[in-house]
Amino acid sequence: MGREVVKLVLQDEELTLAAAVDRSLHDIDAGLLVGLPEAGVAVTTDLEAALSAGGADVLVDFTIPQSAYSNTATAIKYGVRPVIGTTGFTPEQINELDKQCREQGIGGLIAPNFSIGAILMMKFAAQAAKYFPNLEIIEYHGDQKLDAPSGTAIKTAELIAEAREELRQGNPQEEETIEGARGGYYNGFRIHSVRLPGIFAQQEVVFGSFGQTLKIRHDSYERSGYMPGVKLGIQKVMEYTGMIYGFDHFIE
């Protein structure tokens, strides 16, 4: 994802690449790294040094949950607006980062998913839940994804919970003979996480009612599909103060 962001920035006349950070690479031109002409920006392993140089307005982070919080806090410390595609933040962490952003007078964005199609899927699911309160979420990712359920599934569940009252589904005498077989429990419904090689990113929300079912599904096939949303996030984060959680705030 980081390489796709570098491609986006280098190929967009409205954006300028100020720095590129990768803890496993250094002293490589960022343009050459992504198969483009030299950009004049060497990849560094030191995030703090890159941000303290003062050339960046926005940090785009696609890393791992274990480092995303500290990366975000470091960006805010230097007055650089964070646009975060990494998932795994707790509500307490988001609240703390919002406080830090407001103290610095800058905006920030944590987006579990930058795909406009995925955001529409979430919004459609929340609408459907008003009429089909019995549902389950099934999300599919590759076997190297570290968090389960995905940030997209959690955000979908939160939007659904706002639209419908908690309803404990299924037979009250239901019993799992294998632990976890029914998935994770959230607000009365279940979330299932599939992790297999060969899968990129898909999610479906399955609604059940008397004599009918409804499925709302989104499939991502490659990383470039997220880039229009990343660019919009970069632009929007310059316009407000505080940390926003969820790209859905920008989609009417």
Q: Does position 170 have pLDDT exceeding 90, yes or no? A: no
pLDDT in tens, 110-152: 998 888 899 999 999 999 999 999 999 999 999 988 889 998 9
pLDDT digits (tens, 9 = 90+) for 235-252: 999 999 999 998 888 877
Residues 214 and 227 in one domain: no
Full-model pTM: 0.75
Same domain, 52 and 39: yes
Residue 214's pLDDT band (cuts 50, 70, 90): very high
**145 catalytic per annotation:** yes
Encode pLDDT of 22-76 as tens digits. 988 888 999 999 999 999 999 999 999 999 988 899 999 999 888 999 999 999 9
pLDDT computed for residue 49 by the predictor: 92
104, 161: one domain = no
Cα–Cα separations (whole angstroms), residue 174 to 5, 170, 182, 185, 190 = 46, 7, 10, 13, 13
Q: Looking at the predicted structure, is the pLDDT value of residue 224 above 90?
A: no
The answer to whether 218 is a known catalytic residue is no
List the Cα angle 173/179/182 in 5-degree steps: 60
- Active-site residue, from 7, 99, 130, 145: 145
Q: Which of 7, 141, 218, 231 is catalytic?
A: 141
Domains held by the chain: number? 2
Number of other CB atoms surrounding residue 184 within 10 Å: 16
At residue 222 the predicted structure's pLDDT band, cuts being 50, 70 and 90, is confident
**216 and 122 in a common domain:** yes
Residue 37's alpha-carbon distances to 7, 16, 25, 110, 126, in angstroms, are 11, 15, 18, 31, 44
Asked if 6 and 106 sit in the same domain, the reply is yes
- Looking at 153-200, which runs of residues are DSSP E strands? 184-186, 189-195
Residue 92 pLDDT greater than 90, yes or no:
yes
What is the mean predicted confidence (pLDDT) over 176-184?
Answer: 92
Cα separation of 145 and 113, whole Å? 14
Residues of the domain holding 15: 2-110+223-250
Same domain, 89 and 17: yes
